[in-house]
């Protein structure tokens, strides 16, 4: 892919993602989900609720990857592996464990690292909306 095509695809992905900004994190800042940071001492944020409101996701060093963790997945609480390819030209996967889902049910955010074969990873933070 040449530079011009890459820029066009990236710009298109950004424009498509803008209306869904509450579901997709697109930068590597500490809190780019729009969700208030939890109390660092308690590990929980009483203003958010994964079971009622679903989740917000931030993907560090993002370049088109997306992830949606549904309320149904949080409620089920079973380990699950997700693809985060989105509009990126390559795929990554993340696994959210049953223990991670328990943290989300308790309104605590979780962070996992993606895996792939392109010699790079992304930190993925899932927090409650």
Q: List per-residue pLDDT tens for the chain, 129 residues long.
A: 655 555 555 555 454 444 443 343 333 334 444 444 445 445 555 689 999 999 999 999 999 999 999 999 999 999 999 999 999 999 999 999 999 999 999 999 999 999 987 789 999 999 999
Whether the Cβ atoms of residue 109 and residue 126 lie closer than 8 Å to each other = yes
pTM for this structure? 0.65
């Amino acid at each position: 892919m040449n530079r011009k095509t890459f820029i066009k695809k990236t710009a298109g992905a950004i424009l498509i993602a803008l209306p869904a900004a509450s579901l997709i994190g697109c930068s590597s800042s500490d809190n780019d989900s729009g969700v208030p940071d939890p109390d660092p001492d308690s590990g929980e944020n009483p203003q958010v609720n994964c079971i009622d409101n679903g989740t917000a996701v931030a993907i560090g060093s993002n370049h088109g990857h997306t992830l949606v963790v549904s309320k149904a997945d949080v409620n089920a609480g079973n380990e699950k592996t997700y693809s985060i390819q989105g509009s990126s030209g390559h795929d990554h996967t993340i696994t959210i464990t049953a223990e991670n889902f328990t943290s989300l049910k308790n309104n605590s955010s979780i962070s996992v690292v993606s895996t792939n074969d392109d010699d790079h990873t992304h930190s993925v933070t899932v927090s409650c909306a």
